[in-house]
Amino acid sequence: MIPMVDLKAQYRSLQDTLEPAMLTALEATQFILGPNVQAFEKEAAAYLGVEHAVGVASGTDALHLALIAAGVGAGDEVITTPFTFIATAEAIDYVGATPVFVDIDPRTFNLDLNAVESAITPKTRAVIPVHLFGQPVNMVELMELCVARDLHVVEDCAQSFGATVETKNGSVQTGAFGDAGCFSFFPSKNLGCFGDGGLVTTNSSEIAEQLKSLRNHGSKVRYYHSEIGYNSRLDELQAVVLRAKLPQIDNYNQNRRRVAAAYAAGLEGLPVEIPFEDGFGTHVYHQYTLLSEQRENIMEALAAADIAHAIYYPVPLHQQEVFADSCHGVSLPVTEQVAAQCLSLPIYPELEGERVEQITDVIRSVF
């Protein structure tokens, strides 16, 4: 059996440092916004190269609170990709705005920037690029487009912790370009905790201050409330886990890239489209996703060999039942084609080369 992810292998490798740190936090009993949350926010901001990082309860909340802090609200349109997890669009709906889905690039599966430009109307207030599967969007170009039109940019970095984009000032982390960057620490993400957790990054002290208020019941001074806020804090025990893992993230991502390179070698010459790296930045392979007209046959062979596989995502957001009314008649042919052919294979830092070979041999046997 080869799983999609192996969380236990990572836990075992951290056990010796993590367990004493966890016990110390249990003894300290500062469970809400305690010292580990504060320290993690500092360490994450330093790693990501941003002025501020604010811990929140999930990636979904990160997007929701970032949109509020960016001033997006009722009547606004927010352009985003239909080829993402539902949370990206849910957050837009939470603030009373309307998601406008535009087509994707067939090779990177990320937003097609020409399609973004064409979809801008006087009501457009913001764009949410998603660095899907760990491949960064070309943020240099997107920021140019959005700054010129006074549009807010909220990056969905749930799958891209540690991915970088090349700029004329060197490589810059995803989450350091827009008004805000939104990260998820769901256990299976590149940087995952042991439950739910999230983070918003920003270079604006105003946005950071508002996020700290929003996550804590709209309060800057205890029991004084200046706005309606939420209960959305990063948990102290999750911060302990994240502090143990953060120093390893480059190592984890390099190993994901090693697995991706092994897949590319093993699949060479087969009639499947392997992930494309656009060279604008570093792909951190949250997922390793193929395109194939023979998807059903490949899935059957993998299942017979007890190898996990998954379709991310089978139904694009503009075709989801929840958006049936608002997206009636919308057709996004590239997205629909990709959704019909995509197949994600197991990938995690600890996946051995021999296992990858086993997987590519099974796929090879289909052809």
Q: Which residues bind ligand PLP (CB under 6 A)?
A: 58-60, 84-85, 87-88, 130, 156, 158-159, 184, 186, 196, 198
Question: Which is closer to ligand PLP, CB of 110 or CB of 210?
Answer: 110
Closest approach, Cβ 185 to ligand PLP, in A, equals 7
Closest approach, Cβ 23 to ligand PLP, in A, equals 26
Question: Which is closer to ligand PLP, CB of 77 or CB of 196?
Answer: 196
Q: Which residue is nearest to ligand PLP (CB)?
A: 59
Closest approach, Cβ 284 to ligand PLP, in A, equals 13
Residues in the chain: 367
In 3-state terms, what secondary structure has residue 220? strand
Question: Which is closer to ligand PLP, CB of 85 or CB of 263?
Answer: 85
Q: Would the CA dihedral through 361, 365, 366, 367 be positive or negative? A: positive
Question: CA 9, CA 225: separation in Å to the nearest integer?
Answer: 44
- Asked if residue 198 lies in contact with residue 214, where contact means CB atoms within 8 angstroms, the answer is no
Both tokens assigned to 162: 């540690």
Question: Which is closer to ligand PLP, CB of 60 or CB of 110?
Answer: 60
Which helix (H) or strand (E) covers residue 198, if one does? Answer: strand 198-202
Q: Which amino acid type is present at position 99?
A: P
Question: Which is closer to ligand PLP, CB of 36 or CB of 88?
Answer: 88
Closest approach, Cβ 70 to ligand PLP, in A, equals 16
Whose structure tokens read 């236990």?
8
| Among 251, 274, 245, residue whose Cα is nearest residue 360 | 274
Question: CA 79, CA 99: separation in Å to the nearest integer?
Answer: 6
Closest approach, Cβ 89 to ligand PLP, in A, equals 9
| Among 50, 85, 93, residue whose Cα is nearest residue 68 | 93
Question: CA 127, CA 170: separation in Å to the nearest integer?
Answer: 24
In 3-state terms, what secondary structure has residue 54? strand
Closest approach, Cβ 160 to ligand PLP, in A, equals 9
Closest approach, Cβ 26 to ligand PLP, in A, equals 24
Question: Which is closer to ligand PLP, CB of 84 or CB of 294?
Answer: 84
**Dihedral in degrees, nearest 10, Cα atoms 164, 166, 167, 172:** 20
Question: Which is closer to ligand PLP, CB of 184 or CB of 216?
Answer: 184
Question: CA 283, CA 196: separation in Å to the nearest integer?
Answer: 24
Closest approach, Cβ 283 to ligand PLP, in A, equals 15
Question: CA 88, CA 137: separation in Å to the nearest integer?
Answer: 15
Question: CA 85, CA 58: separation in Å to the nearest integer?
Answer: 14
- Asked if residue 164 lies in contact with residue 282, where contact means CB atoms within 8 angstroms, the answer is yes
Question: Which is closer to ligand PLP, CB of 56 or CB of 345?
Answer: 56
